Amino acid sequence: MASISLRNVVKRYGHGPKANQVVHGVSAEITDGEFVVIVGPSGCGKSTLLRMVAGLEEITGGEIAISGRVVNDTEPSERDIAMVFQNYALYPHMTVFDNMAYGLKIAKVPLAEIKQRVDKAAGILELAPYLQRKPRELSGGQRQRVAMGRAIVRQPQVFLFDEPLSNLDAKLRAQTRLEIQKLHADLGVTSLFVTHDQVEAMTLAQRMIVMNAGRIEQIGTPDAVYHHPATTFVASFIGSPPMNLIHGQADGSRFTAGGQTLALPTAAPRAGALILGLRPEHTDLNQNGAAGWPLKVEALEMLGAERLVYGRLGETLFTVRVDATLVPPKVGGTVSLQATPEHLHWFDPTTQHRI
């Protein structure tokens, strides 16, 4: 089994004045058997980081260690890692069995053992009935499972996944997420999974690493990241719709924002310029004239179980998520909002860090 240590890892592409630094000193510890998801917007350096762990990309600075052994100069084939990509490129002329067996044949594993390992992986992935088919005779989801099978049969110390579900439709993605969870529960192999999709990250991760522009914004469990976002970036990237962020001036339990003074349910952490964060589901919406913050309703969206209410607090855009069985407010009307003290998040407008 394996742990992974990233110590101040830096990546620059190119040299001299034209060099482009894309990873700026990333440090993280992934413990043995853990499933960690790296999540962040497209272009933030996720694939680059994963490829450096795999050894497919050179490290410009810092150190990567696997189970305590620094692997900066270790060949990919010596790292005991298997990687699953978005574009899983199966050999079209080979059967499912041969696709899964190929790497083992190259490694000269005895045939009886190859058969045993492929059969076991096919059992886990429910591919046993398809072993003699060619990839073109499979659905997209089945092909993705063959790609995972190819990784499993190698019995690696570490699985690396780079957006393996991106080519699947929404339903299949949800199903494959569950399969990956089950796979990890069964095999317990240390896994690093990269995605730009925050739902995928929240549902799969034991811990997540939220990245932005080549830097780590926060590392934590999905619960911790959702309920205690470390920065405004995390607050708006994790959760959909994003956390409402209101820029204003605090003075005791008064907060002035967008030309509107809001009474707070508890005093602000300090006076002066602050950003107040409130999740859409953490605000009560009253239509019966109760006291609260006046929200002018601009639009509604019915999502099935819930309804999104878009409006303005003074000039600030604000989203509320309500139970769809409640009578919807009228567009153009004004409702009143209330929040409880434990649901207020505060950020420093200069550093964008949580206070």
Ligand X SMILES: Nc1ncnc2c1ncn2[C@@H]1O[C@H](COP(=O)(O)OP(=O)(O)O)[C@@H](O)[C@H]1O
Residue type at 333 in one-letter notation: G
Cα distances from 200 to residues 84, 92, 170, 209, in angstroms, run: 16, 29, 11, 13
Binding ligand X (rule: CB under 6 A), the pick from 22, 64, 84, 152 is 22
Q: Least separation, in Å, of the C-beta of 40 and ligand X?
A: 6
Closer by beta carbon to Mg ion, 45 or else 248: 45
Beta-ladder partners of 186: none
Q: 11: closest CA among 36, 38, 40, 44?
A: 44
Q: Is 283 in the site for Mg ion (CB under 5 A)?
A: no
Which residues, 6+ apart, have CB-to-CB distance to 342 below 8 Å? none
Binding ligand X (rule: CB under 6 A), the pick from 15, 18, 20, 129 is 20
Q: Least separation, in Å, of the C-beta of 14 and ligand X?
A: 7
Size of the site for ligand X (CB under 6 A): 11
Q: Least separation, in Å, of the C-beta of 10 and ligand X?
A: 13
SS3 letters across 332-344: CCEEEEECCHHHC
Q: Which of the listed partners (ligand X, Mg ion, none) does 48 bind, with a CB threshold of 5 to 8 Å by partner kind?
A: ligand X
Cis peptide leading into residue 241 (ω within 30°): yes
User: In what helix (H) or strand (E) does residue 29 lie, and over which residues does it extend?
Assistant: strand 20-30
Beta-ladder partners of 28: 6
Closer by beta carbon to ligand X, 162 or else 285: 162
Residues 190-249 binding ligand X (CB under 6 A) are: none
Closer by beta carbon to Mg ion, 47 or else 316: 47
Among the residues of the chain, which ranges form H helices?
46-54, 96-106, 111-124, 140-152, 170-187, 198-204, 222-227, 232-237
Q: Which of the listed partners (Mg ion, ligand X, none) does 283 bind, with a CB threshold of 5 to 8 Å by partner kind?
A: none
What is the dihedral angle through the alpha carbons of 266, 268, 274, 277, rounded to the nearest 10 degrees?
A: -30
CA 206 to chain centre: 11
Phi first, then psi: what are they for 295, rounded to 5°?
A: -115, 120
Q: Is 266 helix (H, G, I), strand (E, B) or coil?
A: coil
How wide is the angle at C-alpha 130 spanned by C-alphas 180 and 151, nearest 5°?
40
Q: Is 190 in the site for Mg ion (CB under 5 A)?
A: no
Q: Least separation, in Å, of the C-beta of 58 and ligand X?
A: 11
Q: Which stretch binds Mg ion (CB under 5 A): 45-53, 68-76, 164-172, 259-267?
A: 45-53
Closer by beta carbon to Mg ion, 47 or else 218: 47
Q: How far apart are CA 333 and CA 330, in angstroms?
A: 5
Q: Shortest Cβ contact with Mg ion: which residue?
A: 47
The total number of residues shown for the chain amounts to 355
Site mask for ligand X (CB under 6 A), range 25-64, x = bound = ---------------x-xxxxxxx----------------
Closer by beta carbon to ligand X, 45 or else 164: 45
Binding Mg ion (rule: CB under 5 A), the pick from 26, 39, 47, 244 is 47
Q: Least separation, in Å, of the C-beta of 13 and ligand X?
A: 3
Closer by beta carbon to ligand X, 4 or else 268: 4
Q: How far apart are CA 330 and CA 307, in angstroms?
A: 13
Closer by beta carbon to ligand X, 20 or else 325: 20
Q: Least separation, in Å, of the C-beta of 84 and ligand X?
A: 15
Q: Which of the listed partners (ligand X, Mg ion, none) does 20 bind, with a CB threshold of 5 to 8 Å by partner kind?
A: ligand X
Reading the block at residue 297, the tokens are 């309703």
Closer by beta carbon to ligand X, 37 or else 322: 37
Q: Is 13 in the site for ligand X (CB under 6 A)?
A: yes
Which residues, 6+ apart, have CB-to-CB distance to 68 below 8 Å? 3, 5
Q: Which of the listed partners (ligand X, Mg ion, none) does 158 bind, with a CB threshold of 5 to 8 Å by partner kind?
A: none
Applying CB under 5 A, the residues found at the interface with Mg ion are: 47
Applying CB under 6 A, the residues found at the interface with ligand X are: 13, 20, 22, 40, 42-48
